[in-house]
Amino acid sequence: MMESENIFRSNEYEKNNYRYGFSIEGQGTSGIMMHLMQGLVTVFPSMNSGRASSDRFIQSTRTSAENTPAYAMIITRDNSRSSQVKSGMLYSKLILTAHQMGLAMQPLSQTLEEYPEMEKLYNSIHQNYTSNGKTIQMLFRLGKPSKEVPQSMRRDVMDLIIQE
């Protein structure tokens, strides 16, 4: 939850300064309620931390799981940098194709992250869905959205390029 809290963008100012992360509208809130929530979370940041945040996250995850018709994975033979990059390229093609078809995709990365707190879940999902040292590079939800939502924040690609 601390990781999510650190990349949560509570208002337009933060979304414009940090073009990645999570936002209120990304959680399905829109219209006047979105602006009201942005104001409340900006003035009272504790609304988005601790137990309340954890409870909202768990409820949101349950709702998402109950309304997801399909999950998909990109699995590679190894975990080399080349496999990681090629997986990212494939995922980009898939998400663009899905969007053209009126479908939505949402990556579910936390269980695939490689740090001590996630080791048990990481090992479990790999044991259940892969064999012979293969690696799950991407896990994502796929389905027809039940309502239109605004596009999420995106970094300009030039923010990631180092020019010398």
pLDDT of 65 above 70: yes
- Spatial neighbors of 136 by CB under 8 A, at least 6 apart, are 73, 74, 75, 112, 125, 126, 129, 130
Structure tokens at 149: 């939502």
Query: What is the 8-class DSSP label of residue 16?
Result: H
Name the H helices within the chain. 2-6, 12-17, 31-43, 50-66, 81-100, 119-129
Structure tokens at 140: 């994502």
Q: Give 90-149 pLDDT, tens digit per residue.
A: 999 999 999 999 998 988 877 788 877 788 989 999 999 999 889 999 999 999 988 777
Nearest to 24 by CA among 146, 111, 142, 149: 149
C-alpha angle 101-104-108 in degrees, rounded to nearest 5: 145
Q: pLDDT value at position 82?
A: 96
- Spatial neighbors of 2 by CB under 8 A, at least 6 apart, are none
Q: Give 31-60 pLDDT, tens digit per residue.
A: 676 667 666 666 666 656 656 666 766 777
